[in-house]
Amino acid sequence: MFLEKESVVRDGLLHDNETSLPQVYTAGVDDLPTRVLTGCERADVAVVGAGLTGLSAALHAARLGMKVAVVEANGIGTGASGRSFGQVVPYLKHEPGHALKLFGETLGERLVTAAASGPDFVFELVKTYQIACEAVQGGLIFAAHSSEGLERLKQRAAFWRKRGLTVDILDRDETSQAIGGGDYPGALLDHRGGTLNSFAFTVGLARAAAANGVGLFCRSPAEAIRRHDASSWELKTGSGTLIADKILVCTNAYRNDLAPGVGAHVLPIRVHQVASEPLRAEIASTILPGGRALTDTRRLPSGVRLTRDGRLVVTIEGPLFSSGGGNIGHASARIAGLFPHLGRVTWQSSWSGWIDMAPDQYPRIIEAAPGIMVGLGLSGRGLALGPLIGRDLARLCAGAHYRELAFPVVGPQDGPRWPMGAKAIAGAAALQRRWMDRVDLWNERRWGRIPSASQREIHRHAAN
């Protein structure tokens, strides 16, 4: 239920084996001693889930003087936190103006500003706690797959420049030089972002939490939450009980039935990655210099980055809800288009994990009951937003008012909820996005740009 299997390439196909995490991330990361929860323990705050959200909440609550215990069904970082593509992004899923319109100037501004600060917050955690996770805050490249995409990137750059930030728009030649290949019409280079090994970062955050007195209980799946008395809750695991004044459910996509009324707020969606064998050093040095990651304005996965040991990591298409590996042909075609000089790339392994997609793709904190809070809806931005929302959860436990937080706090019946048949809706939307991406590319080749709606109407009438 909680572990995804890694996949390996054999005979050109992806096959599952019994290893649970990508070795490209776990290699060289020392195990962290934990124990199974047995008997009855007492804490001020109980955290369910040892991923980035839960560990950040635990660390910051401990730093605020609370006694904290974390229970985890499997091991540290075995969910989405340890499987992430690895880029730390200073954006929400939507453009800033969308958040300001949806949430209003005050809350929208807090949310946009928090997301913008996410990379600095993450890399400061890395520095403060000396986490060895291949962290590089060298910027992120967002390339335009079309002229229309480039206009959107220019609008994004203008928004941040008005706020005094350095966000560069690159022309075609500058983009090709920054990537080491490709033929994009332009790109946005945001110097705030960066990359890291997400599993190593998660384990490092767990070490920091443990060093600050947090109890870490792995192989201790939470089974139920019930009232203990008027001021505290009882969290039952398979072999023990944890009594706490506050319970923070930080399982994101991996468990949504512990807190009442929360399940419909997120839809678990699988995301797939593939990693190559290490490239030769002289070749690797020409690709994405400076440790930057590349994504583009297409609607479907487009991420490419290079690990410290010279492996290409690529986000790929794959089943959204069912078992099965991702589309290795997508990775091969993507790299061949970007870096034709590489020739054939050998893919060594592939893996997937679940992200918690909110209906509107915005993160929220849900107060499921007095003293039970859930952070969710990170919607694919978990490397930055997970630690941030964890910090807000800790602040809530310390008595902070909602107005002091970056993220909106709602009740279980508030906020957008997925309707019945959400999987079918999401699947159809993915097919539509794939089709629209292909139409964009076709229009670029035919017209030299994506025609506007009025221009398309003129051409349609002319054809008739």
pLDDT for residue 341: 92
**Is it the case that residue 12 has pLDDT exceeding 50?**
no
Residue 357 lies in a domain: no
pLDDT in tens, 314-359: 999 888 887 778 889 989 999 999 999 999 999 999 999 999 999 9
Q: Look at residue 431 and tell me if it is in a domain.
A: yes
Number of domains comprising the chain: 1
Structural domain boundaries enclosing 458: 425-463
Instruction: Look at residue 419 and tell me if it is in a domain.
Output: no
DSSP 279: P
Phi-psi region of 379 (alpha: psi -120 to 50; beta: other; left: phi over 0): left
Q: Are 363 and 407 in contact (CB under 8 A)?
A: yes
Query: What DSSP element (H or E) covers 177?
Result: helix 172-179
In a domain, 53, yes or no: no
Angle between helices 96-128 and 382-397 (to 10 degrees): 80
pLDDT of 460 reads 40
Residues sharing a CB contact under 8 Å with residue 238, sequence separation 6 or more, in sequence order: 220, 221, 223
Domain contains 442 = yes
pLDDT at 10: 43
Residue type present at position 385: L
Quote the distance between the C-alpha of residue 201 and its chain's center. Answer: 13
Among the listed residues 338, 61, 88, the one whose alpha carbon sits nearest the alpha carbon of residue 195: 88
Cα separation, 439 vs 431, in Å, equals 12
In a domain, residue 450? The reply is yes
Predicted confidence at residue 436, as pLDDT, reads: 55
Whether 237 is covered by a domain: the verdict is no
User: Is 349 within a domain?
Assistant: no
Q: When comparing pLDDT for 176 and 464, which is higher? A: 176
Per-residue pLDDT tens digits for 180-199:
999 999 999 999 999 999 99
Residue 178 has pLDDT above 60, yes or no: yes
Give 255's pLDDT tier (boundaries 50, 70, 90). Answer: confident
Q: Name 344's Cβ contacts closer than 8 Å, sequence gap at least 6.
A: 332
Residue 458 has pLDDT above 50, yes or no: no
Confidence of residue 441 (pLDDT cuts 50, 70, 90): low
pLDDT digits (tens, 9 = 90+) for 103-115: 999 999 999 999 9
What is the full DSSP assignment across 16-27?
Answer: E-S--S-HHHHT
The pLDDT, as a whole number, for residue 426 is 61
What pLDDT is attached to residue 14? 33
pTM of the model: 0.89
Q: CA 199, CA 133: separation in Å to the nearest integer? A: 8
Cα angle 267, 273, 279; round to 5: 165
Backbone angles phi, psi at 76, to 5 degrees: -60, 125
Of 392 and 1, the structure prediction assigns the larger pLDDT to 392
Q: Return d(Cα 134, Cα 190) in angstroms, integer.
A: 19
Say whether 106 sits in a helix, a strand or coil. Answer: helix
410-421 tens-digit pLDDT: 999 898 877 765
Q: What is the pLDDT of residues 106-149, one digit of tens each?
A: 999 999 999 999 999 999 999 999 999 999 999 999 999 988 89
